[in-house]
Amino acid sequence: MFLAFFASIYVMMSGADPTSFTEPLSHFTAFYFALTVLATVGFGDITPVSDGARFACMIQMAIDIVFIAAMIRVVSSAAQKSSAFKAAKAKGSSNTLMTDL
């Protein structure tokens, strides 16, 4: 969802100033660019040129780092809970109660 948000920002910036990026951005191209920023691929085919576009990309990068860290935490927490449940079940406890503290 936030990829669409940043893609919209990039389209508006490109529409207001076509030199904000190395090429004018369509909706699809802006979404592609936002996804490559999230994935940290950095193909280099589209780059921010103006200070405003660079700042918007920096904001997206910072939010992306928080997003990726949160997803890693969610996945690792789920894996730990699953592992603890399997270990308790393997001990033969039929009345296992797992709580999230």
**Other CB atoms within 10 A of residue 32 CB:** 18
d(CA 11, CA 75) in angstroms, rounded, equals: 33
d(CA 57, CA 48) in angstroms, rounded, equals: 8
Q: pLDDT grade, residue 1 (50/70/90)?
A: confident
Q: pLDDT grade, residue 81 (50/70/90)?
A: confident
The whole-number pLDDT of residue 94 equals: 60
How remote is the C-alpha of 51 from its chain's centroid? 22
The whole-number pLDDT of residue 99 equals: 65
pLDDT digits (tens, 9 = 90+) for 13-42: 999 999 999 999 999 999 999 999 999 898
The fold for domain 2-87 equals Helix Hairpins (1.10.287)
Q: pLDDT grade, residue 53 (50/70/90)?
A: very high
